Amino acid sequence: MDQRAASGSADLLIGEGRLLSAHPLRAAVLGELHARPFVPAQTPRRFLHAGFLLDAAAAQKDRAAIAELCASRGLPTPAPGAKHHSVSFGGANLRWESHAEFCTYTWDMPCPEIVPGALPFQPPAATLASPFGEVPQPGPLLVAVDLHLVTDTAEDFLLDKVFDRASLARSDVGDGQGEIATDFMADPSGFVRILVRDRGLGAEAAGALVQRLLEVETYRTLALLGLPEAQRLSPVISRIESRLADAAKEMTLTEGLAANNELLDELVALASEIEAGATASLFRFGASRAYMEIVRLRLNAIREVAVPGFPTWQQFLDRRMAPAMRTCFAVEDRQEKIAGKLANAADLLRTRVDVELEQQNRDLLSAMNERTRLQLRLQRTVEGLSVAAISYYVVSLIHHVFQGIHESGIDARLTGLHLDVGLLTALSVPVAVLGVWSVVRRIRSAHGDED
């Protein structure tokens, strides 16, 4: 990367010392195109490449470790926020790259030409891997590649002694300027071997090819991380699918609010379980899809041509890797569909519960209305009895008044006539009843107005 890209400046100089202020992300956007440039490779070379899974905390420790390694040897340290860094020491080149969920270390070292009759990948990778001990292991190892870039000769390098013939994939690349071969299997040291035969690639093309091949192996391994997650979730999804089918049948038979509520609670629990699994696997399946696409793009870029009798890398991965990817995507699709079906079933059952609740409320209101009517009738009956009772007491008082006046003789002295107490009492009865009824009615009307 040249000084302009390294500076990170994205302001625009328009002459006379004037600058146009750049967007805060302009430098990052421009730099992304140059984040991982190809490094020329002179044949013959040996590349040991390792990839480690990281979380956020481990990524920070890894960045600090590579910076400490460079500083201890008096070498430039990674720039703040840099996604890659290259240094040379001990006769080898170290390239460090930081990615979203992993980091890679690639040791690029010279090696002698292969003498006639000798095998590639000698000495074994285990004897060359000591530089990896210079930095603490940043996380779990996922990718380990031993790539040997050699000058092509007329000899076949006895590939059957280096690779498993049943899994060997070979192809010509770069318009016949090179050949690549691998069996995608770990050797006794744990490295996946890749042989690149240079037939006139040139340093630039060889460097680009090497980087693409290392990326193919890295990303195809990362893509397959989705398969264990899919295998873990598949029995759970099958169980939920089976229970949902049973619940759908029960919905046609259950009656009563209690039974429907119990079934609704179970559907909600199943929906929660499937959503938890989908959320947990969302990143993994999305990452597998993205990594698989990167593998496809890298293989397209190297323009493979089949070697007679052997599958190309693309053909081999399509046959061996594509089923695993389809399993991941099928599980992801099942999660989405079963979540939708659970939501539909829960909505239907919730509607039934709401209807039953409304019917219960309607019945309750009807019962309350009936009780209110009975109370009103009872109240009117009590009011009638109250009018009779009060009228009785009023008439009794009137009778006592007339009786007292008659016995005292006041009526004779005042009028010269004797009062007929029984007649007067009888005449007061309708007057008293009407008066009391009138008063009770006014009181009831007054209460009604207040309400």
**Helix-helix angle 313-320:322-408, to 10 degrees:** 40
**Phi, psi (degrees; rounded to nearest 5) at 97:** -130, 140
Q: Are residues 183 and 270 in the same domain?
A: no
- The residues, ordered by sequence, that sit 6+ positions from 26 with a Cβ below 8 Å of its Cβ are 10
Q: Are residues 78 and 194 in the same domain?
A: yes
Range of the domain at 181: 39-202
- Please list, residue by residue across 416-428, b when 16 or more beta carbons sit within 10 angstroms of its beta carbon and e when fewer do: eeeeebeebbeeb
Q: Are residues 18 and 122 in the same domain?
A: no
Total number of domains in the chain:
4
- Type of residue found at 284: R
Q: Are residues 86 and 174 in the same domain?
A: yes
CB distance 318 to 220 below 8 Å: no
Residue 329 is encoded by which pair of tokens? 């995507």
What distances in angstroms separate CA 131 from CA 44, 49, 62, one per listed residue?
19, 11, 16
Q: Are residues 79 and 181 in the same domain?
A: yes
The pLDDT of residue 360: 76
Q: Are residues 402 and 283 in the same domain?
A: no
Residue 299 is encoded by which pair of tokens? 């293989």
**Position 425 in a domain:** yes
CB distance 107 to 131 below 8 Å: yes
Write the DSSP assignment of 244-264 as a string of letters.
HHHHHHHHTT--SHHHHHHHH
**Helix-helix angle 257-302:203-223, to 10 degrees:** 160
The pLDDT of residue 278: 87
Residue entry with tokens 């049943």: 166
Q: Are residues 180 and 267 in the same domain?
A: no
| Burial of residue 45, with CB atoms counted within 10 A of its CB: 0-12 exposed, 13-18 middle, 19 or more buried | buried
Q: Are residues 3 and 94 in the same domain?
A: no
**Phi, psi (degrees; rounded to nearest 5) at 54:** -135, 150
CB distance 54 to 62 below 8 Å: yes
Beta bridge mates, 194: 147, 182
What distances in angstroms separate CA 115 from CA 150, 159, 163, 270, 376, one per listed residue?
11, 15, 19, 65, 116
Q: Are residues 66 and 177 in the same domain?
A: yes
DSSP assignment letter at 130: G
Q: What angle do CA 175, 179, 181 make, to 5 degrees?
A: 145
- The residues, ordered by sequence, that sit 6+ positions from 46 with a Cβ below 8 Å of its Cβ are 108, 109, 110, 111, 128, 146, 147, 148, 149
Q: Are residues 69 and 157 in the same domain?
A: yes
Q: Are residues 147 and 196 in the same domain?
A: yes
386, 389, 394, 395: CA torsion to nearest 10 = 140
**Position 215 in a domain:** no
**Position 221 in a domain:** no
Please state, in angstroms and rounded to a whole number, the distance separating the CA atoms of residues 451 and 447.
6
Nearest of 203, 183, 216, 197 to residue 120 by alpha carbon: 197
The tens place of each residue's pLDDT in the chain, 451 residues long, gives 444 444 455 667 666 667 777 777 776 776 666 666 778 889 899 999 999 999 989 999 999 999 999 999 899 999 888 888 999 887 788 999 999 899 999 999 998 888 777 788 888 888 888 877 888 899 999 999 999 999 887 566 678 888 998 999 999 998 889 999 999 999 988 999 999 999 989 999 999 999 999 999 999 999 999 999 999 999 999 998 888 888 888 877 777 777 778 888 888 888 888 888 888 888 999 999 999 999 999 999 999 999 999 999 999 999 988 899 999 999 999 999 988 888 888 887 777 777 777 777 887 888 888 888 888 777 777 767 777 778 777 878 887 777 777 677 675 566 656 667 777 777 778 887 788 778 877 777 776 644 4
Report the residue count for the chain. Answer: 451
Q: What angle do CA 287, 189, 194 make, to 5 degrees?
A: 60
Please state, in angstroms and rounded to a whole number, the distance separating the CA atoms of residues 401 and 86.
126
Q: Are residues 22 and 107 in the same domain?
A: no
CB distance 108 to 92 below 8 Å: yes
